[in-house]
Copies of this chain bind each other. A is one copy, B any other.
Amino acid sequence: MTGADARGRPAFADRLDALVRARRSSLVLGLDPDPRNLWPDAAAAVAATRGDGPDAGNDAGAAGPAASAAAAVAAHCCAVIDAAGEACVAAKLQLACFERLGGPGWEALGTAAAHARAAGLLVIADGKRGDVPVTAAAYAQALVGSTPTPFGDVDGLGVDAFTLNPLLGRDALAPLLDAAAAAGAGVFVLVRTSNAGAEELQEARLDGGGTLSDRLADLVSELGEAQVGRSGLSDVGAVVGATAGPEALARLRRRMPRSVLLLPGVGAQGGRIDDIAPAFEPGPAGGLVAASRAIVDAHRASAMAPAAAAAEAAERLRETAWTLAQAV
């Protein structure tokens, strides 16, 4: 059932495990570009090409604001990947940030994904999708499959992994898990998110014991059992916020012993890297530290240029997380 996809390449968790060990890194570069907060060179280069840059105010020029902003977003993402990618094993693309720029934004998403792939990074689409089975199958086509049409197949994003919202239950997850398995891709199911209010519903206590997060963790573990690779890790992983605290993380790790945990929230959202040690119990690829603003905005707290500051911040995070993972 697992081990390799139709193209003969290892499945997601095994690809990840090899890359984590080769790069001595469990760092994920989060890309959630805000067009008002791009690295200056990226926006300037687009403005110079299109003649409709920041100095032109609201006069969008021939290209239109969406096309220009999307080109600047793509250039920014590529520059961030060039600067910080070497210290990372994956790029996590926040779909909302591309989607808000419409069709051109969707094209920029493809550009950023291709650039990340060319830099040797795994690509994680962070869209937290979830819908009834027939619609879930359509999302799967968009993410890791292709869509048959009378005009030929339309390829999806072809990402290595994606995030999922499990509220609709296992029949709604199935088409996405099946498509991921067929593509050798991984999934990260929301189990405990990194926002301040995550507890409200996710830690609601259930009749009979445990919380909703516990129940979701058990579901992830069960769904991932048939997807464990040579690395001992499953292609069915979970999102667990680094903000949840060490006790919650340890508890969820016990319920998902083989899942890769994607850990957002380190840095800007208040999560402490020391708190995530339990993630690494199955090995250094057991936890993926997702950092976005801590890398991309590092220059704001230094005298360095954005690229140099990002490279330094990423290397520092890589080293810290690797040292922690080795000590577990």
Residues of A participating in the B interface, judged by any CB pair closer than 8 Å? 32, 34-36, 38, 43, 46-47, 52-54, 56-61, 63, 65-66, 68-69, 72, 94, 96-97, 99-107, 110, 128-136, 138-139, 141-142, 147-154, 156, 165-172, 190, 193-202, 204-208, 212, 215-216, 264, 269
Contact yes or no, A151 B104, CB < 8 A? no
Nearest 10 interchain pairs by C-beta: A171-B197, A65-B152, A35-B149, A54-B150, A69-B149, A169-B197, A96-B138, A169-B200, A205-B207, A100-B142
Q: Report the nearest B residue to A35, measured CB to CB.
A: B149
Contact yes or no, B195 A36, CB < 8 A? no
B-side contacts of A138, CB under 8 Å: 32, 34, 94, 96-97, 99-100
Contact yes or no, B150 A69, CB < 8 A? yes
B-side contacts of A58, CB under 8 Å: 152-153
Contact yes or no, B100 A110, CB < 8 A? no
Q: Given the interface contacts A60-B151, A65-B149, A154-B65, does A128 sit within 8 Å of B195 by beta carbon?
A: no
Cβ contact of A165, chosen from B54, B59, B128, cutoff 8 A: B128
Q: Given the interface contacts A96-B138, A107-B103, A171-B197, does A150 sit within 8 Å of B190 by beta carbon?
A: no
How many copies of this chain are found per oligomer?
2
Contact yes or no, A215 B196, CB < 8 A? no
Min CB distance, A156 to chain B, in Å?
A: 6
Docked pose: A168 CA to B153 CA in angstroms: 35
Min CB distance, A125 to chain B, in Å?
A: 11
Docked pose: A201 CA to B201 CA in angstroms: 12
Cβ contact of A206, chosen from B54, B63, B194, B204, cutoff 8 A: B204
Cβ contact of A197, chosen from B52, B69, B128, B172, cutoff 8 A: B172
5 contacts between A and B (CB under 8 A): A35-B151, A99-B106, A101-B154, A103-B107, A201-B212
Taking A35-B147, A166-B201, A169-B202 as given, write out 14 further A-B residue pairs in contact, using a Cβ cutoff of 8 Å, ordered by the A residue number. Answer: A32-B135, A35-B150, A47-B150, A53-B150, A69-B151, A94-B135, A100-B141, A128-B129, A132-B195, A167-B167, A167-B201, A168-B202, A205-B208, A212-B212
Q: Report the nearest B residue to A59, measured CB to CB.
A: B152
Docked pose: A38 CA to B201 CA in angstroms: 40
Min CB distance, A153 to chain B, in Å?
A: 7
Contact yes or no, A99 B195, CB < 8 A? no
Min CB distance, A61 to chain B, in Å?
A: 8
